[in-house]
Amino acid sequence: MEKESRIYIAGHRGLVGSAILRNLTKKGYTRLITRTFDELDLTDQLAVSRFFAEEKPEYVFLAAAKVGGIMANNTFRAQFIYENLQIQNNVIHQAWLNGAKKLLFLGSSCVYPRNAPQPMPEDCLLTSELEYTNEPYAIAKIAGMKMCESYNLQYGTDFISVMPTNLYGINDNFDLGKSHVLPALIRKIHLSRCLEEGDLQAVRNDLQRFGGSESHAVETDEALMNYLSKYGIVKETSENGSSRVVLYLWGTGTPLREFLWVEDMADACVFLMENYSFSRLVGFTGGKPSGEVRNTHINIGSGSEIAIRDLALLVKEVIGFGGKIEFDPSKPDGTPRKLLDVSRLHSLGWKSRMDLKDGIAAVYRHYTQS
């Protein structure tokens, strides 16, 4: 990419897209193209066609997607597969039709089988069944990856796919019902600490920030406590009259997860767009691949993992919550372990930098100050 190249960031207001936009701006790229949802609905085929014909982006970062945590994925299964397929099909196809030089498609580590070998190499894709709770979303992402591969093979495009691990950072989604595990923990433990300190006004202020059903839960103390208990935040009174705040979390707390600071993720994406091509990984001979081409995507992760229980305790330490955290084993855990094999990325010359505890502290500072 040249500093004056026309670069489109699809999903620039999201967690990853906003980080990519910051990274490109910091590195001196000057012709960055963005559109909000109100300006361009990426599920609208005609609108996307018109946009590409008018703007002619040379490079595309496809970070737009419908995303959510385990509960949202399992509840809105039809929406997750339909909307993601629509977005991918429209953007990838129009990038080809309008001569984009390169496209980077963001997948998700949930594309790998539920019982994949650990750490998960790129080649374990489609080797066994997926985790049921996020199967529709995973299938949509797999389709996007295979679409990029197929366009490369048939049309000679340079469309690359990356598989990020669990991401966190500034501009994350902290909605109590739809967020991923780490932002959900940060917000729930923050609210638990406010309740522990008896600062109901701080709780009210937090809920009002997000509007909607949350802002309507603050009219009375009883309504407020009922709303918090819906998300596992409970103030309990013992037989001797003393009280404590307990946070109840889904599952056993034993699943292992890998987390990556989103600014590191953005840096990896820009690095790959600048330094990596589809033909380089496949190893073209005379302009054609030497055999069957599969799994040309690249994992992006930190290479380390932590149990959800230990993650909760780490967030508790950073925030300063003195109450108790309990787990509800009647609720689903999701995939037991999800650690990416990042040796392919490391071989290309990129490694993550942010320490998890420092990253959590940075996100919490931003959360409380915004």
Report in angstroms the alpha-carbon separations of 86 from 81, 140, 144, 287. 9, 9, 10, 31
CB atoms within 10 A of CB 273: 24
| Total residue length of the chain | 370
Which of 29, 137, 168, 367 is an active site residue? 137
Angle between helices 200-210 and 221-230 (to 10 degrees): 60
Nearest-angstrom CA–CA distance, 218 and 220: 6
Q: Looking up tokens 């392919």, which residue turns up?
A: 344
Whether the upstream peptide bond of residue 119 has omega within 30° of 0, thus cis, is: yes
What is the rounded (10 degree) CA torsion for 54, 59, 61, 65?
30
268: Cα within 13 Å, side-chain hemisphere: 32
Sign for the CA dihedral angle at 56, 62, 68, 72 comes to: positive
Is 8 labeled as catalytic in the residue annotation?
no
Q: Which residues are catalytic?
A: 137
